[in-house]
Amino acid sequence: MHNRVDKFKETARAEMKNELSQAFLLMLSLGAPIMRQIGMSSFPDPAAAEAYGRAIRTESIERLPELLEEFKKNAQAKGAKVIWARDSAEAKASVLDIAKKRGINYITKGKSMVTEEIGLNEHLISNGVDVFETDLGEVITQMLSRAPFHIVGPALNVPPEEISAVFLKRGVIKQPTVNPVELGKAVREYMREKFRYLDMGIVGVNMAVAETGTIINVENEGNIRMNKSSPRTLVAIMSIEKVVPTMADALHMVRILSRNCTGQKLTGYVSMDTGPKKSDEMDGPEELFIIIVDNGRSEIYRDIKVREILKCIRCGACLNACPIYAKIGGYPYGFSYSGPMGQILNPMLLGIEHTSDLFRACTLCGACKKICPAGIDHPSIILEYRARQIKDRKHQTLSARFENNLATCSSLAMSSSMLWNLAVKTVRPLFNSLAEDGYIRDMPFGAKGWFSCRNLRAMPDKTFHEIWKKLNLPNPDDVRKKETL
Amino acid sequence: MKVSLFIPCTVDLMMPEIGVAVYRILSHLDTRPVYHSGQTCCGQPLYNAGYRDQAKRAARHFIKVFGDDEYIVSPSGSCVSTVKQHYAELLADEPSWCDRARNISKRMYELSQFIVDVLGITDVGASFEGKVTYHESCHIFRALGISEQPRKLIASVRGAELVELGNATACCGFGGEFSTGFPEISEAMVKAKAVNFINTGADVLLLNEPGCLLNISGYLHRNHPQKRSMHLATFLAENTREFSHA
Amino acid sequence: MSSQVRNEILSKIKSAQRNDPLPRPQLPFLSERALDREQMLERFTAELTSQTGTVYRAKDRKDAERVLSEIAAAEGFKQVIAVGKNLQGIDIKSFGNSNGITVRTLADLKDREALRKAAFAADAGITSADFAIAETGTLGIIFSKDQPRLASIAPPVHIAIVSIEKLYPVYEDAVKQVFGNVNEIPSQFAFITGPSATADIQAISFKGMHGPTKVIVIFIMGQ
């Protein structure tokens, strides 16, 4: 997938003018939190269930090294082949190698965010192994070469006309149709042939259970179960943070994930695989490869201030809660992960210097933190990135130096009321010279963006400081303070 | 009871009438408001923008100014949240300052929270004939968990009918530098807030966060000049006969 | 090479600063545990029905054969695949003969290719289920030599026959049995809750995406 994280602002502007995107975003931002709420309230004690889920994720991350080793040991004991990959190149090479050695012509895939992150499809296809996404939304985004609009519904916003056109072109349908059910059923038929003769499938992993070496996938469409049933070779790709301690923990997290993802109490299918098929079984993979991908996670793990990013279970609840995502959708984030999830993860994967708009495009409203079933404090991480960016760049460019000096001057004024009041007296006439009828409507410098839709009141003649002084109220404390400050 | 006023910089510079209203309400409720004229800004804009060294300077100044004051009360949830929830971490590498930050955080109160929870008062004696609605500002509602308190204060205003604002807890799109850095997105957000306000048919939109007020009132002034938004303190003070001319 | 990569990744995270996770809060209470059998059956039925599934209660295996025949007639099955250890004693071949349906069982399928052919061609997959979970109207199936995976996912209709003895309140009841003995963990265990579904285009939801369009559960209430 093409990484367009540097085009945040222009993509956002375009998406805000896209009526179809806007209609879906409105529906999503209003409907999805209600669905989630209904799902969560089916717990006898929703707060206790949420707290327990957060505790599982915290413990899973704090115990990550042991849990990973335990998972590996148990998965191998059951006959899975565990492959480790430091980065996307190693992961991609491993999958290609497996496919090439087995003379594979095509692969079908279950929805997997980490494979999008590493650009697996492009690598396999350019090396002569065809790849078919099978999740309906992913089928559409793959055929349109488009980033996911939403982690759960990657093509929710794509108009049926556009889907019909690309399906016609790819031979999925013979006659155009804009009926979503017909379009979906056509993909069913198209994919059945692929599944029927499949030799190799690829799936992601929602949870890897340390105590049993089991990989768990949750889904509704049945495409993952097809991928895990029909072919002789199965590759499951997971990033290192997917591990949970026990099956009991996994069950609780499945309950939490389903409710947060789609508002369901349980997704249609939860498949739990421990090793490849037994020798006497007729279907299921003869070989199960589990590729454990780092791709930057160990660095996140070592970075104690942002480590909690790894608690994320990719449910998408934060996207549905984010007021900014609700206006711009998933495309502007320019990468596999969008919304608050992407705002905290992408800077670590792509570099803080390349993702400034991601962690600046936030009002710190805290809706993501409040809804997060993993207990991630997104605003704190976003603030941390801002601080790191300032620290890294403050001497680099002229404008960065200027802004840094401006901040320093402000802080000096903030640490002395005398300077503060002096600054106010200096700025006020300049500022107010822009005002008409007591309001400023535009500004030739500085905070120009403000005035695109807003006025700003001119500064009143007196600050509160000055009014207070004029009130001349006895305040013995100030005498003391004056002496000490 | 001595109450130390913390008047945020936005109020000091742009909306001093909110500070006056806070003073009047608290005096009326038989407390003794004091104001350290050494105060400036809590440093939130610097902190949020990532200028931590500079924000530290502002934080240390704030801690010095407010010293041992038992009740520090502010008409801004985001400033209270900055001091309460971020100072200690900001000053983590300066242990003695960090301790002082932890200590001062226990003495910080958002205005409505102070009136309702500490003073135990819900009726300040205001009356208003008309419909009002209330915007749940992010830092008041989510960061500080304050929602009941301002609602109780509004509910006690004689004659006032509180109607629910659609999507009341949604961010208004201010976010400090966000509003100027991402003007189109910010506009879409504040516009949605204004539309929800207009749809309530309320006469006044009440809120208790100066940042949100700058944003929403600025938008309304440009686009819907007949619609009013007000800080809860100003609303209460203006509509309480006994002290409105104090 | 992989072990070197593994060591590198693990040593990076092992050498990182560690925080002690706080002790776990109390395990949340699951109200379903208090249900008696009839309540479990009601709950199971309500949950599965809400997913467009159908639940039948058969008095015994004879009655189950009657229910199966009714379903077959209504759905117009021509060929089905039937798997699962003795299918709760149902005489599936005689069911096929008396209803004019071609029934393929494991005895008819010599290898993976034959199985795939039969499963993708079948109008229905008849399987047993090892568990029924009241919590969400969920089937639990252990896949094994007697229970291939495709029979419950490839055909457009999935009919699961399950003894009422296997109805439990919550997922944990099944998982404890399936994963309790580390040497007897199946290659795959799956929870199935209703037909396959999607809402990926325009948020219009429909059943029967890649898996079955219909899921039918027949409980055998007695022997």
C-alpha atoms less than 13 angstroms from C-alpha of C70 in its C-beta half-sphere: 10
Shortest CA gap C58–chain A (Å): 25
Indicate the residue type of C166.
Answer: K
Residue A485 predicted with pLDDT over 70: no
**What is the mean pLDDT of the segment spanning C10-32?**
91
A272–C28 C-beta distance less than 8 A: no
Best interface-test mutation with B: which of A454, A456, A482 has the largest number of B CBs within 10 A? A454
Contact assessment for residue B38 and residue A485, using Cβ atoms and an 8 Å cutoff: yes
Torsion sign, CA atoms C189, C193, C194, C200: negative
How much is the pLDDT for A147? 86
**Burial (CB count <10 Å: 0-12, 13-18, 19+), residue A402:** exposed
C140-151 pLDDT per residue, tens: 999 999 999 999
Please name the member of B49, B183, B184 whose beta carbon is closest to the beta carbon of A386. Answer: B49
Q: Which residue of B has its CA nearest to A371?
A: B142
Which residues in chain A (240-279) have CB-CB distances under 8 A to chain C? 240, 247-248, 251-252, 254, 265-278
Residues making up chain A, counted from first to last: 485
Query: Helices A136-144 and A160-169 meet at what angle, rounded to 10?
Result: 70
Domain stops at, among A299, A320, A340: A299
Cα torsion A100, A106, A110, A113 to 10°: value is 60
Query: Which helix or strand (DSSP H or E) is residue C102 part of?
Result: strand C102-104
Using CB atoms, pick whichever of C111, C150, C200 lies closest to residue A136.
C200
Chain A residues in contact with B45 by the CB 8 A cut-off are 410
Domain extent, residue A225, equals 5-299
CA separation for the pair A373, A169 (Å, rounded): 41
Question: What residue ranges define each of the domains in chain C, with the CATH number in brackets?
Answer: 35-220 (3.40.50.10420)
Q: A398 exposed, middle or buried (CB, 10 Å; 0-12, 13-18, 19+)?
A: exposed
CA distance A282 to C144: 8
Of A412-416, A474-478, B213-217, C160-164, the range with the lowest mean pLDDT is A474-478
Query: Is the pLDDT assigned to residue A479 strictly greater than 50?
Result: no
The model's pLDDT over A371-386, given as tens digits with 9 standing for 90+, comes to 999 999 999 999 999 9
pLDDT band at A398 (very low <50, low <70, confident <90, very high): confident
B87 close to A (CB below 8 A)? no
Between the CA of residue B196 and those of A85, B151, B172, what are the distances in Å?
50, 18, 11
- How distant is the Cα of A318 from the closest Cα of chain C, in angstroms? 19
* Domain boundary residue, one of A255, A276, A299: A299
Which of C9, C28, C150 has the CB atom closest to A283's CB atom?
A: C150
Give me chain A's average pLDDT, please: 94
Question: Is A163 within 8 Å of C201 when comparing Cβ atoms?
Answer: yes
Backbone CA torsion sign across B106, B107, B108, B110: positive
Residue ranges of the domains in chain B? 2-116, 123-240
Please report the residues numbered 83 through 102 in chain C whose beta carbons come closer than 8 angstroms to any beta carbon of chain A: none
Average pLDDT value for chain C: 95
The answer to whether the Cβ–Cβ distance between A361 and B47 falls below 8 Å is: no
Q: Which member of C24, C27, C211 has the closest CB to residue A225?
A: C211
pLDDT at B65: 97
**Residue B110, beta-bridge partner list:** B74
* CB proximity list for C62: less than 8 A, separation 6 or greater: none
CB contact under 8 A, A407 and B49: yes
B72/C75 Cα distance (integer angstroms): 74
The reported pLDDT for the residue numbered A482 is 41
**Token digits for A412?**
């000096």
Helix H or strand E segment including A166: helix A160-169
Q: Determine whether the interchain pair A156/C203 forms a contact, defined as Cβ–Cβ distance below 8 Å.
A: yes
Are A484 and B64 an interchain contact pair (Cβ–Cβ within 8 Å)?
yes
pLDDT at A483: 35
Q: Let me know how long chain B is.
A: 246
pLDDT value of residue A3: 61
Chains that touch B (3 or more CB pairs under 8 A): A
CA angle B170, A457, B216 (to 5 degrees): 10
Residue A202, φ and ψ in degrees, nearest 5: -125, 135
List subunits contacting chain C, requiring 3 or more Cβ pairs under 8 Å. A
What are the residue ranges in chain B where pLDDT is below 70? 243-246
Touching pair C, B by Cβ (3+ pairs < 8 Å):
no
The answer, for B43 touching chain A at a CB cutoff of 8 Å, is yes
- Any idea of the CA torsion for A346, A349, A350, A354, to the nearest 10 degrees? 50
Q: How many residues does chain C have?
A: 223
Percent of chain C with pLDDT over 90: 91
Tell me if A407 is assigned to some domain: no
Q: Does A475 have pLDDT greater than 60?
A: no
pLDDT at position B186: 98
3-state DSSP assignment of residue A424: helix
Q: What is the pLDDT of residue C21?
A: 78
User: Is A300 in contact with A348 (CB distance < 8 Å)?
Assistant: yes
Distances (CA, A) of A52 to A321, A339, C22, C195: 21, 25, 11, 30
Element (H, E) at A222: none
> Looking at the structure, do residues A19 and A158 belong to the same domain, yes or no?
yes
Give the minimum alpha-carbon distance from A11 to chain B in angstroms, rounded to a whole number: 12
Among A269-278, A411-420, C214-223, the range with the most confident prediction by mean pLDDT is A269-278
DSSP one-letter code for A6: G
Cβ contact (<8 Å) for A475 and B35? yes
Question: Using CA atoms, how far apart are residues C218 and C72, in angstroms rounded to an integer?
Answer: 13
From the candidate CATH numbers 3.40.1840, 3.40.50, 1.10.8, 1.20.1740, the one assigned to the domain spanning B123-240:
3.40.50
Do A43 and A391 form a contact (C-beta atoms < 8 A)? no
Instruction: Please tell me the distance in Å from B118's CA to the nearest CA on chain A.
Output: 22
Q: What is the ipTM of this complex?
A: 0.97
Chain C CA closest to residue A58: C21
Checking if the pLDDT of C123 tops 90, the result is yes
**Res A1 pLDDT > 60:** no
- Work out the minimum CA distance from A86 to partner chain C, whole angstroms: 7
Is residue C52 within 8 Å of residue C207, measured between CB atoms?
A: yes
Per the CB < 8 Å rule, is A184 touching C209? Answer: yes
Q: Decide if A33 contacts A41 (C-beta within 8 A).
A: no
Distance CA A67, CA A60 (A): 7
Beta bridge partners of C160: C127, C217
Q: What are phi and psi of A82, to 5 degrees?
A: -100, 125
Contacts of B180 in chain A (CB under 8 A): 447-450
Query: Are chains A and C touching, using the cut-off of 8 Å on CB pairs and a minimum of 3 such pairs?
Result: yes
CATH number at residue A55: 3.40.50.10420
Read off the amino acid at residue A49: A
Q: What is the mean pLDDT of residues A159-172?
A: 97
Count other Cβ atoms within 10 Å, centred on residue C46.
Answer: 12
Burial of C222 (0-12, 13-18, 19+ CB in 10 A): exposed
Q: Which of A411, A448, A453 sits opposite B219 (nearest CB)?
A: A453
C28 closest CB neighbour out of A49, A58, A299: A49
pLDDT at residue number A474: 54
- Given a cut of 60, whether residue C206 has pLDDT beyond it is yes
The larger pLDDT score, comparing residue A461 to residue A478, is at: A461
> What is d(CA A137, CA A263) in angstroms, rounded to the nearest whole number?
18
A-facing residues of C in 139-198 (CB < 8 A) are: 143-145, 148-150, 153-154, 171-172, 175, 179, 182, 185-198
Whether chain A has a CB inside 8 Å of the CB on C16: the answer is yes
Residues 217-236 of chain B with CB under 8 A from chain A are 217-219, 221-223
Please, which contacts does C33-37 make with residues 24 or more away whose CB atoms are closer than 8 Å? C33/C169, C33/C170, C34/C169, C35/C134, C35/C169, C37/C164, C37/C167
CA distances to A357, A375, B5, B79, C64 from A464, rounded to whole Å, are 35, 40, 11, 17, 83
In chain B, residues with a C-beta closer than 8 Å to the C-beta of A390 are 49-52
- Chain A positions touching C47 (Cβ under 8 A) are 265
What is the distance in angstroms between the Cα of C84 and the nearest Cα belonging to chain A? 12
Contact (CB, 8 A) for C151 and C123: no
Cβ distance of B221 and A469 shorter than 8 Å: no
Q: Is the pLDDT of residue A229 over 70?
A: yes
Q: Roughly how many angstroms between the first and final C-alpha of chain A, as a whole number?
A: 58
B142 touches chain A (CB under 8 A): yes
Contacts of B189 in chain A (CB under 8 A): 323-324, 327, 363
- pLDDT above 70 for C223: no
Residue A478 has pLDDT above 80, yes or no: no
Whether A438 is in a domain gets the answer yes
Mean pLDDT of C176-184: 95
Residues A156 and A289 in one domain: yes
Per-residue pLDDT tens over the stretch A68-90: 999 999 999 999 999 999 999 99
Chains that touch A (3 or more CB pairs under 8 A): B, C
Listed by number, the residues of chain A in 68-87 with a beta carbon closer than 8 Å to a beta carbon of chain C are: 68-69, 72, 78, 82-86
Partner residues linked to C162 by β-bridges = C219
At which residue do the structure tokens 């100027």 appear?
Answer: B180
CB contact under 8 A, A180 and C149: no
Query: What per-residue confidence (pLDDT) applies to A283?
Result: 97
Q: Which residues of C touch A38 (CB under 8 A)?
A: none
- Tokens, residue A161: 């006309």
CA-to-CA separations, C13 to A144, A300, A348, in angstroms, rounded:
38, 9, 16
Q: How far is CA A448 from CA A432, B47, B174, B181, in A?
A: 15, 21, 14, 9
Q: Residues C105, C110, C112, CA angle at the centre, nearest 5°?
A: 95
8 Å CB contact of A16 and B185: yes
CB B130 within 8 A of CB B228: no
Q: φ, ψ for residue A436 (rounded to 5)?
A: -130, 135
Query: Where in A43-155 does DSSP place strands (E)?
Result: 81-85, 106-109, 130-133
A457 neighbourhood in chain B, CB within 8 Å: 14-15, 217-218, 221
pLDDT band at A399 (very low <50, low <70, confident <90, very high): confident
A444 belongs to a structural domain: yes
For residues C139 and C189, the answer to whether their CB atoms sit within 8 Å is no
Smallest CA-to-CA distance from A219 within A288, A137, A106, A162 is with A137
Q: Are A276 and C14 a contacting pair at CB < 8 A?
A: no
How many Cα atoms are found within 13 Å in the side-chain-facing hemisphere of A18? 21
B47 interaction partners in chain A (CB closer than 8 Å): 383
The nearest CA of chain C is from the CA of A229 a distance in Å of 6
pLDDT for the residue numbered A447: 81
Strand order in the sheet with B127-134: B158-163, B127-134, B204-207, B228-231
Using CA coordinates, name the residue in chain B closest to A325. Answer: B185
| Encoded tokens for A28 | 């999503």
Which of the listed residues A257, A280, A299 is the one where a domain comes to its end? A299
Q: Which of C152, C81, C146, C149 is nearest to A280 (CA)?
A: C146
Question: Which residue, A58, A99, A59, A340, is CA-closest to A237?
Answer: A99
Q: Which of A77, A80, A75, A72 is nearest to A286 (CA)?
A: A80
